[in-house]
Structure 1
Amino acid sequence: MAASRRYPLELRERVVRMYRTIEPKPQIKRLAVDLGVHPEALRTWIRQAEADAGERGDRLTTGEREELAALRRENVQLKRANEVLRTASAFSPRSSTRPGPGDGAP
């Protein structure tokens, strides 16, 4: 279940777009205070926008983050399925392709 967002997505996009178009670049803290958002929230949004635009190599893009989250969820499901199969196989009789005594073997 996703956490609720304190700031609407539209606000985030507008603020980041505003920051990226202003020249010279304002101080993030001052701009955040002027716009009524937390400075670290604005800093995070700007970094993510730069990563999505290919301007930063130290962060995953939004698409990569979503893919990673989906792969992690799938990994958890597969681990659960493997555990169920492992547990079920412990209770099932072992079958063999070799005939046992009394199976008509010479």
Structure 2
Amino acid sequence: MCTVPKPYPREFREDVVRVARNREPGQQLKQIAADFGISESCLTNWLSRADVEDGIKTGTTTAEHAELREAKKRIRLLEQENEVLRRAAAYLSQANLPGK
């Protein structure tokens, strides 16, 4: 059975990113990651994500991603409601035909 590891707490990620951003010249990300018990690729991902969140790099922020997800959910619901109304209108127009 494969288990997915729990994500690190937000405060921990923020602390690690802060340390990595303020590292001494010549200090390797690899060493910082090892000091915190995470992989270098994990730290690199956190730094990239933080750059997007802080507006340093372009990309979709967490807030924008959540808003987009909610908008897509709302669109699906509206499309379903529209389909129900379309079918109801078709049914009612058939019921009102002469000779029925």
Global fold match (TM > 0.5): yes
Q: Give unmatched runs, 5+ long, in structure 2.
A: none
The RMSD of aligned alpha carbons is 2.9
Shift of 1:39: 2.8
CA distance in 2, matches of 1:20, 1:75: 40
1:56-95 counterparts in 2 under 5 A?
A: 56-57=57-58, 59-93=59-93
CA distance in 2, matches of 1:34, 1:27: 11
| Aligned length in residues | 95
Label 1:84 to 1:65 Cα distance change in 2 as closer, same or farther (>3 A). same
Shift of 1:25: 6.6
Label 1:25 to 1:89 Cα distance change in 2 as closer, same or farther (>3 A). farther
Amino acid in the other structure paired with 1:14: D
Residue identity over aligned pairs, in percent, reads 37
CA distance in 1, matches of 2:84, 2:27: 56
CA distance in 1, matches of 2:84, 2:6: 36
Contact preservation (8 Å) 1:48, 1:62? no
Q: Does 1:12 align with 2:13?
A: yes
Structure number with higher helix proportion: 2
1:26-45 counterparts in 2 under 5 A?
A: 26-45=27-46
Q: Which has the larger radius of gyration?
A: 1
What TM-score comes out, normalization by structure 1 length?
0.68
What TM-score comes out, normalization by structure 2 length?
0.71
